[in-house]
């Protein structure tokens, strides 16, 4: 994972930590670092570290960003992605810019690159294909499980899940970084539920009306469910939710008791 520092004085420590991780975890040794002449790169501490490690420190000429064109182009790409990601989030908050940068880099490392003969940077570095099954759209709504110990007074009636905004990944698959709008904090959670996602254009949208008469063998209507309560109601509800993820999502947000119960039950079961 990448790193975001708050002040330039942290630069030397971050570089040292990066080199140490690369050597100990991946058995690779950086040969050179190329930077501009920024004051954070021209320090006795960093110079001494590079010399002790046998790492060449290359400086680009002043006022010539084209000398480090690959890095400058990548910075531009990340900047454009950052703006789009913040705008697309269900909750716009400029404080999430650092999370968006890290997530953009995470995704970029899992995309084919022409300079690597269409390999992904991840595959070129680790020698294996990256997993993408866990990827989620940045800024989408999700729900994290609230442990019993953290529930408010009246625990039997307290919410079992808390609304959150997905912001990124960690080094552990299925451990996600999420932003809590109520407290303005970002945490890591593995006990997380992503509601059904309706991607526009990916599948034909099938809008339902409670006044439509349909049989469960094709498309299940709400009217059929309500009038056939003795025919495996939960199964019928789940079928309707699969066929109407957006409507199910909205009803879940509005507190529909049956959908709330089924979604949370599937969540706890790891589905």
**Domain ranges (residues) in the chain:** 8-126, 141-192, 222-268
Mean pLDDT of 119-126: 93
Q: What would the two tokens of residue 152 be?
A: 């408010």
With contact defined as beta carbons under 8 Å apart, do 168 and 138 qualify?
A: yes
Instruction: Give 159's Cβ-side CA count (13 Å radius).
Output: 10
Q: What would the two tokens of residue 83 be?
A: 């703006």
d(CA 121, CA 110): 6
pLDDT at residue number 16: 96
pLDDT band at 106 (very low <50, low <70, confident <90, very high): very high
d(CA 210, CA 72): 55
d(CA 159, CA 138): 25
Q: Is pTM, for the whole model, over 0.85?
A: no
The predicted-structure confidence for 199-210, as pLDDT tens digits, reads as follows 544 444 444 433
8-126 CATH fold? Nucleotidyltransferase; domain 5 (3.30.420)
Work out the mean pLDDT of the chain and round it to a whole number.
Answer: 82
The predicted-structure confidence for 124-140, as pLDDT tens digits, reads as follows 999 999 988 899 999 99
Residues 6+ apart with CB under 8 A from 158: 146, 151, 152
Q: Which has the minimum average pLDDT: 95-104, 130-139, 141-150, 179-188?
A: 141-150
Q: What percent of the chain has pLDDT over 70?
A: 82
């Amino acid at each position: 994972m990448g790193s975001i520092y708050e002040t330039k004085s942290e630069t030397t420590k971050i570089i040292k930590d990066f080199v140490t991780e690369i050597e100990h975890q991946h058995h690779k040794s950086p040969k050179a670092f190329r930077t501009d002449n920024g004051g954070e790169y021209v320090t006795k501490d960093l110079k001494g570290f590079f010399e002790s490690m046998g790492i060449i420190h290359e400086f680009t000429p002043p006022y010539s960003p084209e000398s480090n064109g690959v890095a400058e182009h990548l910075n531009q790409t990340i900047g454009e992605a950052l703006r789009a990601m913040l705008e697309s989030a269900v909750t716009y908050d400029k404080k999430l810019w650092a999370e968006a940068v890290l997530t953009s880099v995470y995704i970029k490392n899992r995309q084919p690159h022409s300079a690597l003969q269409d390999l992904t940077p991840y595959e070129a570095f680790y020698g294996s294909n990256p997993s993408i099954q866990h990827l989620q759209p940045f800024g989408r709504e999700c729900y994290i499980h609230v442990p019993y110990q953290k529930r408010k007074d009246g625990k039997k009636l307290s919410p079992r899940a808390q609304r959150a905004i997905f912001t990124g990944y960690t080094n552990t698959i299925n451990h996600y970084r999420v932003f809590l709008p109520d407290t303005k904090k970002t945490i890591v959670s593995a006990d997380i539920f992503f509601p059904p996602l309706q991607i526009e254009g990916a599948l034909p949208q099938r809008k339902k009306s409670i006044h439509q008469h349909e049989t469960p063998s094709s498309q299940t209507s709400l009217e059929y469910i309500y009038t056939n309560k003795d025919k495996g109601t939960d199964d019928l509800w789940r079928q309707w939710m699969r066929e109407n993820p957006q409507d199910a999502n909205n009803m879940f947000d509005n507190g529909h008791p049956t959908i709330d119960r089924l979604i949370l039950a599937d969540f706890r079961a790891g589905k």
